Amino acid sequence: MTIISRRNFLQAAAGLVAATGVAGRPSVASGSPGPGDLATLIDCTLCDGCVEHDVPLCVSACRERALEKIPDPVRPIPEPFPRGQIEDWSERKEVLDRLTPYTQLYVEKVDLVIDEERQTIYIPRRCMHCDNPACATICPFTANHKYPNGAVVIDKNLCFGGAKCRDVCPWAIPQRQSGLGIYLHILPTLAGNGVMFKCDLCYDHLLEFQVPLCVAACPRDAMIIGLRRDIFNEAARRQDRINGYLYGKTENGGTGTVYLSPVPFSEINKVIAKGPGQPHLDPVTRRLARAVFLEASVLMSPVIGTGAGIAAALIAMKTRGTDRGKTREKSTGKKDGNLNNDG
């Protein structure tokens, strides 16, 4: 089993190599670390929200990286025509109670009363890294992509900030910072509106055989990362042990993030803050699953067209042969009249 947390950080590099099969491999075209999806388990029975710290350590680590990586937007930020809606978080970097470009992970404190017992649960929220993420597959520029290690990563150099990824994400996770990115060099007021940001599972760290910063920062091993099957097995084991609940394993057709909670997520979902940048915990079905028949038909359409074309050509050639005979017969007895041509 290859499960990595902060405590076995030293083994992590070796473990990750084993998990992703990178060791000794030449670099592959996609730049991915190799085959084998990674998954993370977020164990809400262990997360205590780092109450002794001003900011949970996972959030601090994540934000530090984001603040380093996100350049300052241009001033003034071009006003997108015609709506003029600029999303500028650069003046509100300290916002910690929702997802923003600079806060790609936040921890929500949830107070619940279950069976007359008061319980407090802390839930770190970020991108779920879906198995078939519409945010990536239908990005019009392939700025967003799911890599073979399971990480769904937005390329900030290619993203136009149209927010299609946010629109198709069931949790509306990606967040826009206007005034950045490639759109500034093309049609800044007419097309695009910045760059979308979200958790990328610290993709650059994964490439260097390091675990994501949030996993490394957690003092209670509330987050672990490893091969998907190992993480799912571990999640099931812990679920059985506490008679708990899982979220994320089947949502949106399956994700690379599993939450474990001692209380039903439906109960948590009732009390958590929901709104822009504050994702729900509803059960989620994958909307594009309804288009599977259409997608399969698209892939089959060349075969259908080819088959029909061959059949029609054979029929036409046979008919033409028959007509030729008839025309010859006619033309011997009659000079004018309709003319047919054989090609």
Partner 1 sequence: MMADGIMEEDRNLIRRHGLTELIEHWAIAISGIALIITGLLELPIGRRYYITEIPGFSWAGDYFITLSLHYAAAIVFAAAAFFHLFYHGLRGDNALLPRRGDIKASIAVMKSFFGKGEEPPFHKYLPEQRLAYAGMALLIGLLILSGLIKTYMNLLNPQLSRVIALMATWTHNIAFVLFVFAFIAHLAALVIKPNRPLLRGMFTGSVRLDYARRRHPLWVEAVEGSVTNSSIGVTGDEEVLAGDIEKHAGADSVPSEHRERGTGFETSEPMEKES
Helix (H) or strand (E) holding 324: helix 292-333
Considering only 62-70, 140-148, 234-242, 261-269, which stretch makes contact with partner 1 by CB under 8 A?
140-148
Q: Can residue 341 be called a binding residue for partner 1 (CB under 8 A)?
A: yes
Among 187, 266, 314, 330, which residue sits at the site for partner 1 (rule: CB under 8 A)?
314
Q: Can residue 309 be called a binding residue for partner 1 (CB under 8 A)?
A: yes
Q: Are strands 38-43 and 257-261 parallel, antiparallel or unpaired?
A: parallel
Nearest alpha carbon to residue 79 among 232, 217, 188: 188
Among 189, 266, 285, 297, which residue sits at the site for partner 1 (rule: CB under 8 A)?
297
Q: How far apart are CA 62 and CA 54, in angstroms?
A: 15
> Which residues, 13 to 42, sit near partner 1 by CB under 8 A?
28-32, 37
Q: Indicate the residue among 241 and 287 with the shorter CB distance to partner 1.
A: 287
CB 129 within 8 A of CB 201: yes
- Radius of gyration, alpha carbons of the chain: 28
Q: How far apart are CA 142 and CA 146, in angstroms?
A: 10
Smallest gap from residue 8 Cβ to partner 1 (A): 27
Q: Can residue 133 be called a binding residue for partner 1 (CB under 8 A)?
A: yes
Length of the chain as a residue count: 343
Smallest gap from residue 223 Cβ to partner 1 (A): 23
88 burial via Cβ count (<10 Å: 0-12, 13-18, 19+)? middle
Q: Can residue 266 be called a binding residue for partner 1 (CB under 8 A)?
A: no
Q: How far apart are CA 181 and CA 14, in angstroms?
A: 36
Q: Can residue 187 be called a binding residue for partner 1 (CB under 8 A)?
A: no
Among 64, 94, 208, 295, which residue sits at the site for partner 1 (rule: CB under 8 A)?
295
Q: How many residues bind partner 1 (CB under 8 A)?
A: 65
- Amino acid letter, residue 213: L
Interacting residue ranges for partner 1, rule: CB under 8 A: 28-32, 37, 80, 82-83, 131-134, 136-142, 145-148, 150, 162-164, 167-168, 191, 287-288, 290-292, 294-299, 301-306, 308-310, 312-314, 316-317, 320, 336-343
